Amino acid sequence: MEPAAQPGDLPLQVAQIVACTEAEGPGRRFALWFQGCPLRCPGCCNPEMLPFDGGARLPLSEVIERLRRAANQQGVEGISLLGGEPLAHAREAAALARQVQSAGLSVMIFSGYTLEEARLLPEPAVAELLSLTDILVDGPYIREQPEEHRRWIGSANQRIHFLTDRYRADDPCWQRRNTLEIRLRDREVSINGFPAPSAVGLWKRLRP
């Protein structure tokens, strides 16, 4: 039997990390995409992140260290958790969010579940994760309802819940144009931000 993981060593199944981005929520954010989603939104822009196998298993302590560096060196003000489906990794996400809030940084989550559905999920860690979340963008991605006005939001059905008073709906940052970031490193290309199918197609064409 494997020994129980210590809180600092809890492994996270991670598809991708972008240490500093302005394309996944207010300010500069440390974005982490979990590997694995039980939902199947037609037109999902991250189909490679749907299987629970894959990605990399990173200890929580390593993620925290990378976040600490991003906060100190790049002025990151919080994390954004995406996927994949963060609520399907609620225990690990809650452990991460607890440390993030303790460090005075903020937590934003993009989930395919609505808030009402999330509150009915049986995993107790989901409630803890929600209690540690400042902003929740909720609901499945609906390809036929592309969002045309709100920044960072994929489809018009998705709602933005300000679960704490740390951020405000009337902050002008929500009204600016959407952002697409393209990174080239060695032979790897990654794109994050506006989840339009055209961006996904571009990413596929650029992939080595």
Between 85 and 147, whose beta carbon lies closer to ligand SF4?
Answer: 85
Q: Tell me: does residue 46 bind ligand SF4 (CB under 6 A).
A: yes
Q: Is 78 in the site for ligand SF4 (CB under 6 A)?
A: no
Residue 37 contacts ligand SF4 per CB under 6 A: yes
Q: Min. distance of Cβ 117 from ligand SF4 in angstroms? A: 11
Q: Is the dihedral of CA 117, 191, 200, 160 positive or negative?
A: positive
Rounded-to-integer distance, Cα 10 and Cα 33, Å: 16
Residue of 12, 71, 101, 141 interacting with ligand SF4 (CB under 6 A): 141
Instruction: Say whether residue 41 binds ligand SF4 (CB under 6 A).
Output: yes
Q: Residue of minimal CB distance from ligand SF4?
A: 112
CB-CB contact of 203 with 192 (8 Å): no
**List 84, 86, 94, 100, residue binding ligand SF4 (CB under 6 A):** 84
Does 112 bind ligand SF4 (CB under 6 A)? Our answer is yes
Task: Check residue 40 for interaction with ligand SF4 (CB under 6 A).
Answer: yes
Question: Which tokens in the block code for residue 83?
Answer: 């996927």
Residue 29 or 89 with smaller CB distance to ligand SF4: 89
Q: Which one of residues 26, 36, 78, 83 is an interface residue with ligand SF4 (CB under 6 A)?
A: 83
- 138-143: long-range pairs with CB below 8 Å, 24+: 138/111, 138/113, 138/114, 139/111, 139/112, 139/113, 139/114, 140/39, 140/41, 140/112, 141/41, 141/43, 141/44, 141/45, 141/112, 141/195, 142/41, 143/41, 143/42, 143/43, 143/197
CB 88 to ligand SF4: min, Å: 9
Give the 3-state secondary structure percentages of the chain, helix then strand then coil, rounded to 5.
30, 25, 45
- 88: contact with ligand SF4 by CB under 6 A: no
Residues that bind ligand SF4 (CB under 6 A): 37, 39-41, 44, 46, 49, 83-85, 112, 140-141
